[in-house]
Structure 1
Amino acid sequence: MKRVVVGLSGGVDSSVAAYLLQEQGYEVIGLFMKNWHDDSVTISNECPWLEDSNDALLVAEKLGIPFQTVDLSEEYKEKIVDYMFNEYEQGRTPNPDVLCNREIKFDVFMKIALSLGADYVATGHYCRKGTIENEKGETYQLLAGKDGNKDQSYFLCQLSQEQLSKALFPIGELTKPEVREIAAKLDLITADKKDSQGLCFIGKVRLPDFLQQKLQPKEGIIIEVASEADVFNTIETEFPSQEAAFAYQSRKRDYSGQLSKVVGKHQGAHYFTKGQRKGLNVGGTKEALFVIETDVEKNIIYTGQGSNHPGLLKKALYIKNDEVHWVREDLALQAKQTMDVMARIRYRQELQEATLHQFEDGMYVVFKEPQSAITEGQFVAWHKEDEVLGSGVIS
């Protein structure tokens, strides 16, 4: 019997994952990760992790598996929360869920599991793992979950071959309704529990409220940039190289001195992100205002009217070499190589046609169609069919 440690989160997905592994003959241990107890940053009056750990315990009792809670709050604060604040301060928008999987669940948590003699770590993610056998041994694939509506492979796009070798995703072949049905048949307390929203493993938190407790408010102006501003008139320039052309397409546009007007005030540019519509509190425009750029140095938010404003659209993005990550290391590009892929720049976005261009210093992802709100600090993931090949931090 191989031993598997399941990250029991107190939700329905991990509950059913534990049950399925039991059915497959594994020796299953349930571990609940406690990732937050900093009372100086209030998250809400409720205490979600207490309720969740209690539900996880009840599921473990029902299934008859050993259970314990591990406190990872120190590592979580250092690797996720501090990183998040630092990124927001620099005007970037991090993705804590992707980081949490790479740094916490499949690193810190995995090490604890292996120290308990586990052969594998399992989670309730909607994704699948494939294995390719060849003369060099085994190569692992990260595949999309069967439930297209719930596929979570994007959140695991930073996993390595080593991490995948020890990972199991028991519910990847199921749809959410099937998972709930299994939980209901077993009479698990989590069967009808709503999916958790908010930060990975912190629970019910509204991000702006959370950020305001660490990043001080600072009043600044909101500028509306006209869609006919000169900066959007792309002059057909002859570029000395393909790399220079891509650098131009992915550049951060300079809106100073452009056709624009001040339309309001805000409490801190670092609270806002590209593509954001809510929270600007500016009325009187024909179409809704969207954030098209933030300048945290000057504390200015640039906005534009309508979801098709040219300030939201770009065809290319750049990833620094040290932030290019290949799940499939065997397919990694060398300088001057290209690869046609399907890519997405955020969770739940439809996959888009794109080409990867690897250069000496980094990689450009060039899309067939312009993309809306390409945001620094977020992850772009690239696929071939239903396999995630790699990902990178948008620079």
Structure 2
Amino acid sequence: MSKGKVIIGMSGGVDSSTAAYLLKEEGYEVIGVTMGMWQEPGETEGCGNLSAVKDASRVAEKLGIEFHVLDFRKEFRENVVDYFINSYERGMTPNPCIACNRHVKWAALLDYANKIGADYIATGHYARIEKHPVTGRYSIKASVTAAKDQTYALYRLTQEQLERTLMPVGFYEKDEIRKIAANIDDFIAKKSDSQDICFIPDGDYGAFLERERGKNHCPGNFVDMEGNVLGQHKGLIYYTVGQRKGLGIAFGKPMYVYGLDVDKNEVILCDNETLFSRTVYANQINCMSVPEFTDGMRFRGKIRYSHKMADCTVRMVGEDLLECTFDEPQRAITPGQALVLYDGEYVAGGGTILGAKLPIHQRKNEAE
């Protein structure tokens, strides 16, 4: 007897292919789909490219499961690419994978699942979904493979999305997944993991942004913390908080990007010590294992995917504004990245980082 009908997103890689196999072995009726999200039909680079479609289709045939290619280019453009471009033009450094997970891989895939009467959707992410033992809310939990853990990029998923999601890969070590994949397709089992942003495979963000907007971004001044002009930069889109390499100018001592002033078209530089702060402000808050954030709650927080989580305390300072204070100063708090809060192995929730200082309009509210 089937445990239910599940739609699984298949990229043609080892993780999603193995996830499809595991779900079928567990007794689900599995339908594989590859999501065309960026490229024109027939192109060989980007999300859901021709090569990915061929690999995913071959795996689906070997597994004996139904397979479809879905066109999600409109959803991807509006919710991921446009968001990415607009964030950079506002002096922020976004994480497009987080937006893609919430608005495309989950929202669009669930919409398709509803149309065909499927019970669940599934992915090959290294994470687990469990109900929190105290709050009873659905939450993302750290995967068995700590080195491949992808919980940071999944913090924005809703309770409704989590309730209908399966993530079988999160219960295995990466080496185990490759061994299982070898029984399905030896070529797939040996494929390397993708690393770059899928719609910028060459990693040249600046060139991509200029192509998309059809314009060159204006040079401006490098300035120090006192506003003294130190030289000229080539355009704000080429810089991010904490950056040292690629500034294109020698200062006689190590200098790092402290922030971007969009209004003045200035890149503010500082020494390494100035990059450290204990306080982080975030908005667009999403609660996961906890129903809400209240003053004094203790968590372990991450301010970027590669960041080693650290102890912190939170409080709400506005309807959608959270203040997180770390016990120890953290380096390069970057607007546009995500602050993700962990309660043990569970994701408590998080938000989009605004910066290390309270936004000016909020400072006025606090004073009042």
The aligned counterpart of 2:217 is 218
Deviation at 1:261, TM superposition (A): 4.6
Query: Over residues 253-295 of structure 1, what are the superposed CA-to-partner deviations in whole Å (9 max), with x where a residue is unaligned?
Result: xx3x44x4514x33211332111233322246343x3211111
SS in 2 for 1:214: helix
Query: Over residues 29-65 of structure 1, what are the superposed CA-to-partner deviations in whole Å (9 max), with x where a residue is unaligned?
Result: 10000001369xxxxx953511111111111111111
The aligned counterpart of 1:251 is none
Decide whether the 8 Å contact of 1:160 with 1:327 is kept in 2: yes
SS in 2 for 1:115: helix
Letter in 1 for 2:147: N
Deviation at 1:195, TM superposition (A): 1.1
Deviation at 1:394, TM superposition (A): 1.1
Deviation at 1:303, TM superposition (A): 2.3
Cα distance in 1 for partners of 2:325, 2:183 equals 48
Matches within 5 A, 1:292-311: 292-305=258-271, 308-310=272-274
The aligned counterpart of 1:291 is 257
The aligned counterpart of 2:58 is 58
Cα distance in 2 for partners of 1:329, 1:164 equals 14
Deviation at 1:66, TM superposition (A): 0.8
Number of residue pairs matched?
346
The aligned counterpart of 2:315 is 357
Cα distance in 2 for partners of 1:178, 1:205 equals 30
Letter in 2 for 1:140: Y
Change (3 A) 1:303 1:139: same
Matches within 5 A, 1:154-233: 154-200=152-198, 202=199, 204-206=201-203, 207-215=205-213, 216-223=215-222, 225=224
Decide whether the 8 Å contact of 1:88 with 1:271 is kept in 2: no
Letter in 2 for 1:27: E
Matches within 5 A, 1:335-346: 337-346=295-304
Decide whether the 8 Å contact of 2:155 with 2:347 is kept in 1: yes
Structure 1: 5+ residue stretches without partners = 40-44, 226-254
Decide whether the 8 Å contact of 1:5 with 1:118 is kept in 2: yes
Cα distance in 1 for partners of 2:44, 2:11 equals 17
Deviation at 1:188, TM superposition (A): 4.1
Cα distance in 2 for partners of 1:358, 1:47 equals 43
Q: TM-score, normalised by structure 1?
A: 0.82
Deviation at 1:132, TM superposition (A): 5.0
The aligned counterpart of 2:325 is 366
Deviation at 1:101, TM superposition (A): 0.5
SS in 2 for 1:149: helix
Deviation at 1:316, TM superposition (A): 0.6
Query: Over residues 194-229 of structure 1, what are the superposed CA-to-partner deviations in whole Å (9 max), with x where a residue is unaligned?
Result: 1112225x362422321121343234245363xxxx
Structure 2: 5+ residue stretches without partners = 355-368
SS in 1 for 2:147: coil
The aligned counterpart of 1:34 is 36
The aligned counterpart of 1:96 is 96
Q: TM-score, normalised by structure 2?
A: 0.88
The aligned counterpart of 1:282 is 249
> In angstroms, what is the RMSD of aligned CA positions?
2.2
Letter in 1 for 2:279: A
Letter in 2 for 1:18: A
Letter in 2 for 1:8: M
2:293 paired with 1:333: yes
Deviation at 1:133, TM superposition (A): 7.6
Change (3 A) 1:300 1:360: closer
Letter in 2 for 1:276: Q
2:80 paired with 1:114: no
Q: Which aligned runs of 4 or more in structure 1 are off by greater than 6 angstroms?
A: none
Deviation at 1:384, TM superposition (A): 1.0
Decide whether the 8 Å contact of 2:298 with 2:314 is kept in 1: yes
Instruction: Please identify, of 30-39 and 165-174, the stretch whose mean Cα deviation from structure 2 is larger.
Output: 30-39
Letter in 2 for 1:223: F
